[in-house]
Amino acid sequence: MLRIIDARTGEPAPAAPARRAPTRVEAHVAERDATALRVLLVADLLARALELDGTPVWTVLTGAAARDRLREDAAALGIRPFEDGAAGHGPGTGQGVRVVSEAVAEGAGGSEDAPGAATVAVAPAHPAAIDLADPDAVRLALLVRHHHARVDLDAAALDEDRDTLARLRRAVADWARHPSRPVPGEVRDRLRAAWEDDLDAPGVLRVLRRVETDPDLPDGARFEVCAYADRFLGLHLTRDVGAE
């Protein structure tokens, strides 16, 4: 079961108390900046993890200024679209999770749109303005640190993440040329344990690094592992499959 750290209590809590019932994920941001994009990314990860567990998800955006431009930035980062969340709780039970910046979590309390909802607090990203010339590298840079830790998107870090992503995509494209093999149960369990533990994206990436170097894992299985993990990460790891 997916569990998050609820910023209201500081304790773990189930992201979907009624498992596989419709769940509203609200991303609440105050302005268009790097931290707002990180909030949307964490909400995207939350929706992906819930869907991988078979839970229907309704994602909404509240509180944002310059919503159209923020949505354009989010789309560049591979974040799936959010509806406007001005009214109601959505389908089904109305259970929900709210994703906000640390500053909002510390100062705002509940939401008019989702009163009493569990809250995920996201640490700031710096600098406030992000260069989205290579959005996949930015997405990876935001994933390599847990969302409770501040992230600095400096040029050196982005260069390293750009190289990491290129290397991994080349490897995935090469592994795709080999006969497919199923994802080993042990590896699948480690991946799910990571993302179900408060959306631990760095933990998922650590599993992939082990998969890259495991001498006992067939290349066809490596490919399937990366394709499966990418349903959570959203890094387009299979993008170069079949490319010359």
pLDDT digits (tens, 9 = 90+) for 26-53: 999 988 999 999 999 999 999 999 999 9
The CATH number for 227's domain is 1.20.120
Q: Work out whether the CA dihedral 107, 111, 116, 122 comes out positive or negative.
A: negative
Indicate the number of domains in the chain. Answer: 2
Quick one: average pLDDT of 219-228? Answer: 98
126 and 163 part of one domain? no
107 within some domain: yes
More confident residue, 142 or 109: 142
Write the single-letter amino acid at 4.
Answer: I
Quick one: average pLDDT of 53-66? Answer: 89
Angle at 68 between CA 119 and CA 157, to 5 degrees: 65
CA nearest 25: which of 184, 213, 199, 169? 199
Contact 59, 47 (CB under 8 A): yes
| 110 — pLDDT class (breaks 50, 70, 90) | very low
180 and 107 part of one domain? no
Residue 108 has pLDDT above 80, yes or no: no
| 116 — pLDDT class (breaks 50, 70, 90) | low
What is the value of pTM for the model shown? Answer: 0.93
Residue 244 has pLDDT above 80, yes or no: no
Identify the domain containing residue 222 by its residue range: 158-233
Residue 105 has pLDDT above 70, yes or no: yes
81 within some domain: yes
pLDDT at 174: 97
Quick one: average pLDDT of 171-197? Answer: 97
126 and 162 part of one domain? no
Residue 66 has pLDDT above 90, yes or no: no
CA nearest 85: which of 66, 67, 63? 63
Quick one: average pLDDT of 173-179? Answer: 97
63 and 176 part of one domain? no
CA distance 100 to 108: 10
CA distance 164 to 141: 10
pLDDT at 115: 55
- Mean pLDDT score of the chain: 91
pLDDT at 101: 96
20 within some domain: yes
96 and 169 part of one domain? no
Task: Report pLDDT digits (tens) over 130-161.
Answer: 889 999 999 999 999 999 999 999 999 999 99
Angle at 28 between CA 22 and CA 32, to 5 degrees: 135
67 and 176 part of one domain? no
